[in-house]
Amino acid sequence: MRTGPKNLITDVAGLSIGNAQDAKVASGVTVALFDTEAVASVCVTGGAAAARDIECLAPEATVDSVHAILLSGGSGFGLDAASGAQAWLRERGRGVVFGRAVIPITPQAICFDLINGGDKDWGRYPPYRELAYDACENAGDTFALGTAGGGYGATTADLKGGLGSASVVTSAGHTVGAMVVVNAIGSAVMGGGPHFWAAPWEIGDEFGGLGSPKHASTDLAWKGRPLTPATTIAMVATDAKLSKPQARRLAIAASGGKSKGLRLAHALFDGDTVFAASTGRRHLRDPATEIIEICALASDCLARAIARGVHAATALPFAGTVPAWRDRFGA
């Protein structure tokens, strides 16, 4: 198995990623911008999800493509981010045209990072709209992982979370990528670490190359027990040309990657959400076989991205915050 050249979701042709964050607030936004409209759908498995414009991604809904997808901190306040991306796209004439109106389609999911030590007293309006606009301005084919963008303020049960990404190339030559904000209710590491739950799917030493331990604890613990909202939000993408129902199937299959990369996921107070997008650059020659492989590798890719996000993170500079993996176990 091989990754794309950058081992990032931007190995999928036709999209770029931008990050922006506010260190004082300890939160941020990540935006995926598509060069042209992309076919997209979504799968929501968490019991406490919050999102914007995801109803239009249902296979039976009229809208058949999107212009951007956003992953943001801020809980419900972070939903302002989609307006910033819409403003940036509208200024460039990109959106669905209805007469003289241009409406960019910018679905979004958020994670809960409101009690991570940052100063959330931002005044009348939260900063996410402007952060999203800045993220659009910053978008490119490379971007920071770890404590960056939508993953800036993310945490897990025992370690700092963050923004992760990974890619893989299928046997038919399609590229699949994943990007995730790891703000998990559970843990990405076994028994407190350093080994990652995603170890069986690691390619090379992309998150340390530690492999799996001989014995791994499966004891169950979660963040803020008994109750703290969490959320791991993600996006997978492929250059294979998919229909909207096929993109929905991809989102469902990719959601399984959370259970590979985390102990635990899809919980009652999680907002776990996975978007799936197709940039349509490569046609399927054997649709059933190729889609099965794309879905399977997207699930693996998401698990790897989870580990990479935690592996790359740095701790927030506030008293009482959880340590980063690198603080506890080295680089």
3-state secondary structure 174-192: CEEEEEEEEECCCECEHHH
Contact present, 305 and 170 (Cβ < 8 Å): no
Place of tokens 């007293």: 121
pLDDT at 72: 98
Helix H or strand E segment including 295 = helix 287-312
For residue 194, whether the previous peptide bond is cis, meaning omega lies within 30 degrees of 0, is: yes
Place of tokens 């250059």: 239
The predicted model scores a pTM of 0.96
How many C-beta atoms lie closer than 10 Å to residue 125's C-beta? 10
Question: What does the alpha-carbon distance between residue 188 and residue 62 come to, in Å, rounded to a whole number?
Answer: 38
pLDDT at 192: 84
Per-residue pLDDT of the chain (331 residues; tens, 9 = 90+): 899 999 999 999 999 999 999 999 999 999 999 999 999 999 999 888 889 999 999 999 999 899 999 999 999 999 999 999 999 999 999 999 988 899 999 999 999 999 999 999 999 999 999 999 999 999 999 999 999 999 999 999 999 999 999 999 999 999 999 999 999 999 999 988 899 999 999 999 999 999 988 777 777 777 766 557 788 999 999 999 999 999 999 999 999 999 999 998 888 877 899 999 999 999 999 999 999 999 999 999 999 999 999 999 999 999 989 999 999 998 6
Whose CA is closest to 203, among 289, 292, 321, 304? 304
pLDDT at 224: 67
| Burial class of residue 122, CB neighbours in 10 A (0-12, 13-18, 19+) | middle
Helix H or strand E segment including 253 = helix 244-261
pLDDT at 223: 72
Set out the domains of the chain in order of their start, with CATH numbers: 9-329 (3.60.70.12)
Q: What angle is formed at CA 263 by the lines to CA 214 and CA 57, rounded to 5 degrees?
A: 135
Radius of gyration of the chain (CA): 18
Backbone φ and ψ of 70, nearest 5°: -120, 140
